[in-house]
Amino acid sequence: MKVDTRKQVTVFGGSGFLGRYVVHALAQRGHRIRVACRRPDLAYHLQIAGRLGQIQAIQANLRHPWSVERALEGSDHAVNLVGILAEAGRQTFDALQAEGAGHVAQAAAKAGIGLTQMSAIGADPNSPSLYARSKADGERRVLSAVPDAVILRPSIVFGAEDQFFNRFANMARFAPALPLLGGGTTRFQPVFVNDVALAVAGAVDGDVPGGRVYELGGPEAMSFRAMMEEMLGVIERRRRFVSIPFGLADTLAGWMRFLPGAPLTTDQVAQLQIDNVVSDAAKAEGRTFEAFGIAPRTLEAVLPTYLVRFRPQGQFTKPQPHDDRPAEDESLPGDGGEAKA
């Protein structure tokens, strides 16, 4: 007799950028999904990712343990994707990424179910970045409550709805130059959102051993400048680069905190001074995409599928001859700080 391996999975933060891909990947595997988020009305669009009744939205807030426990009632597995890039009011790094992760882990332990926790490359209790420290604290709390939990640490995640390449591509439509903090030397390993979602689905299905931290990076380690050059090539635009020393960037970020949406924070400046790539230890121990049997996709293969709208005439822009000339640079005075590995 065939055993039914489909599960009831509660996904915290399922209405976000990564969440929509995770929900789709789980639905494709036949699981029933409960999307737990502060605003269930923002998750209704996910219902078309599965069959009728397969995906349900429910209200939950990681700052309130009772709502987390309620969201996990009857579930077989919990996935926590909740994370923020900047603090706003009561939505702080510690409240969501440390204490909130702990609430999910404690509720999962109480229910006796599995847990997959989304963290980030760079999570470090000794990091100068509060974001990175809160991620590390969240990992600690998760493994303390659920020792066989799966922790996933992706590098910068890109995809059609990302707030990274879309933001800089839109900026390039109007601005004559793009900023490079610290000269743009900090390295990243950009990873396609759908590949990360497949890894989450694999963790839910038990494809990898628990109690481990897996680092997820794309096939290329690239500097911030190289990523900007790749993006500019896709949207068929040439722009100057303005190098902003980290010291000056930190000062500017201090003032920008008063602007709506805070386009740059001092914590982000701290993060950008440390390379964001898969560690040698993770590679040596096989704690990468390799463990999931996933071959991550490249920027070159994916960026043109969603950045075409930023070309001068959109999809009707005629391809231009490839220009090998390096983009011109300008520098602002400052300390000239470099990224540290």
pLDDT of 214:
98
Mean pLDDT over residues 272-297, rounded?
97
Domain ranges within the chain, ordered by starting residue: 8-148
pLDDT of 327:
61
pLDDT of 316:
78
pLDDT of 324:
57
Partners of residue 130 on adjacent β-strands: none
Task: Reply yes or no on whether the pLDDT at 24 is more than 80.
Answer: yes
CA distance linking residue 192 with residue 203, whole number of Å: 17
Which two tokens mark 71? Answer: 């969201």
Which CATH number does 8-148 carry? 3.40.50.720
CA distance linking residue 95 with residue 190, whole number of Å: 27
Mean pLDDT over residues 32-54, rounded?
93
| Residue 91 per-residue DSSP state | B
pLDDT of 341:
39
**Rounded percentage of the chain residues whose pLDDT exceeds 70:** 91
Residue 3 pLDDT level (bands cut at 50, 70, 90): very low
CA distance linking residue 153 with residue 120, whole number of Å: 4
Mean pLDDT over residues 97-123, rounded?
97
